[in-house]
Chain A
């Protein structure tokens, strides 16, 4: 096996080239993954940002007697085809509530319908050329304009795209998360304290540990089946309510909180415990007064991350019926509600083009909240992290 120097140096060159190739290939695959992230966010922003703008039109509202029964009569027929039907429906009620209004006229900015909105945003629409020309004219006069879309943040769901908003879903999310937190945080932290500080190392403890790890890996949709079979069918919790959704998500979040709390408790050095025992504390006093305060930032971080995970979850909520059409904000834990991801899911199923924008807008809000929560968790960890 004798090779000349040239042969060997050629071989070496080849081997180094191969080595460099692996480096470049692995770098490229990381690049692909990150590139996807960029493409994804760019696509969402591109699709979703227009949802925060909505076309408004300046109209002369004439509160005449016909308008008391049919709102459309209050508007100039030429412009009425541009205005959102949701506004027309409001007019009779406005006259009924305020009798002085009858016989007066008023100039105000109102929502246009989604077709006009889509046209102004340069998307596909069903307007005729005449209508488009009429709109262009009004845009020049400053009678049609894009404004910040307050409706999107103040209204519930609607079948009229221009009227649909995320308010009801946001309230539903908050209530569902309250239930989730109220159930999973105490139980999760207590379980972790038991396993880490109290439990003897026996079969029972090991069974619980294995079980928790398994729970963390069970597909989320199966938690939905549990919620349906146990909470709704057996315990009679109202379907579609934040209560049943929150309970289902709580069971899903439980393993996350337990695992992170255990890690936080474990990171508190034993010398702290020994010191406390040495001055005569009981086990519970050690945990309550010394270990828990030190582990708290870690526990909070884990809980926030777990909650953020639960907040983005949709599949189990569909199973327990939380994809209902909710036009009004409800403030009860037992009434039907929806949550942000479920709202996104509902809108994604709507055939109208204007809803694509709403969906992406809802997604942007959801992502913003989740990123905020995760950033808070990371900040908390950075700020309070202690090296012993």
Chain B
């Protein structure tokens, strides 16, 4: 029999056992109740309890068996495992029905199980974080066993290309293995992020100032969701837009000034990324500016300050921690942005300060390393995880700093809904 069929059969039998448990439990409870004995719970609750005691342990046995197989590599035939868990289900059924007694708190028992289930679900998010952390660290460590950490941090040449010859056992044919100096990648990432921020922070911040301080209620009601649309457009679409529409324009404009620009220059992805990030900055700053207490504004206005002086000298300084926190979140997003740079930025690691040249980023290199047809064990592929680790550490730090700053702002003005 196919594994699939065994599995289906298992599910069918388990479902059947569950149904039997439900009706047996309910019948017994109804009978006891019919005899005039008062019980702690409703018949339906006893019925659900028997179902839980039937299916729960059985599924647990199945899951533990599967994990043992995966983790320890022990071969337990699927058939034995599943029939074993069916036996457990039958035992659970018997125990469950026996538990249907007047003095048994079925409702509380169910409550306990549900609470455990919910807590288990909550644990999954923790598992995800640790999964990301450990999987990346584990593979990154394998990378650093092969290549030097020092070179990774300080090297200025990134050319993983040659290392696949090494992996194929033909190292002498290449130029002596790949070189993994990540500085050009980080420089490219920083350059594109910088361009994005030069676009996003002024426009985003000014828009939020307009929306929270000047705009009539109706304009604000329309403009804010319109801006949010910018954040909802898939990044792959922005990438296409940057590569097909914006990059040629940049080349033309640069050509007009007598400058030479590559078609995959850093300005196009940077600008488009900046536009994508505008709503992040504007909506967060808008919230922050709105939650600056009105008494501050009124005080400043009462002293005879004009509107703009109030904003510049009172509102913005008060909102600064929140604005900085929004900007940091935006930076972290720009650093990790992938599709725009994959589609519009270059593939060539290039250590230059000229944004009109092509340059590549950390995320582009991760994608390039993992979409190549190389052995997973090769340094070229594993380098993706080393870069991923660096990216993880940087974005996590930015997020934490940003959270701390916004908390400080919140505590200062005792705002709870931010």
Contacts and interface: CB of A to CB of B under 8 A. Distances in A.
A356 B343 CA distance: 13
A219 B342 CA distance: 14
Interface in A278-336: 282-284, 308-309, 311-315, 318-319, 323
A217 B395 contact: yes
B309 A19 contact: yes
Contacts of B70: 234-235
A376 B178 CA distance: 51
A1 interface: no
A384 interface: no
Nearest to B212: A26
Given A198-B118, A363-B237, A366-B234, A230 B135 contact: yes
Contacts of B240: 344, 348, 359-360, 363
Nearest to B399: A217
B343 A345 contact: yes
A219 B338 contact: yes
Interface string B24-62: 000000000000000000000000000000000000000
B207 A30 contact: yes
Interface in B325-343: 329, 332-333, 335-339, 342-343
A195 interface: yes
A267 B234 CA distance: 30
B3 interface: no
30 contacts: A15-B309, A18-B306, A18-B309, A22-B311, A26-B213, A30-B207, A30-B215, A36-B230, A36-B275, A37-B227, A37-B230, A44-B237, A194-B119, A198-B115, A198-B118, A207-B126, A211-B126, A212-B125, A214-B399, A215-B129, A220-B336, A221-B363, A222-B132, A226-B131, A226-B132, A312-B235, A314-B338, A318-B367, A363-B240, A366-B234
A43 B131 contact: no
Interface residues of B, number: 88
A348 B239 contact: yes
A191 B122 contact: yes
A3 to B, nearest CB: 14
Interface size class of A (residues with CB under 8 A): 35 or more
A187 interface: yes
A299 to B, nearest CB: 14
A24 to B, nearest CB: 9
A34 interface: yes
B118 to A, nearest CB: 4
Given A33-B282, A37-B229, 15 more contacts: A15-B306, A18-B309, A30-B215, A33-B227, A33-B275, A208-B123, A212-B125, A214-B129, A229-B135, A284-B110, A314-B235, A315-B342, A318-B367, A345-B236, A348-B239
Interface in B263-315: 275, 278, 282, 306-309, 311-312
Contacts of B136: 222, 225-226, 229
Contacts of B363: 219, 221, 315
A34 B391 contact: no
Contacts of A34: 223, 226-227
Contacts of A44: 237, 241
Interface string B216-259: 00000001011101101111110111011100000000000000
B235 to A, nearest CB: 7
Interface string A234-258: 1100000000000000010011001
A277 interface: no
Given A37-B226, A211-B129, A217 B329 contact: yes
Contact of A199 (B122, B227, B367): B122
B384 interface: yes
B260 interface: no
Most central of A221, A234, A315, A318 by chain B CB within 10 Å? A221
B129 A22 contact: no
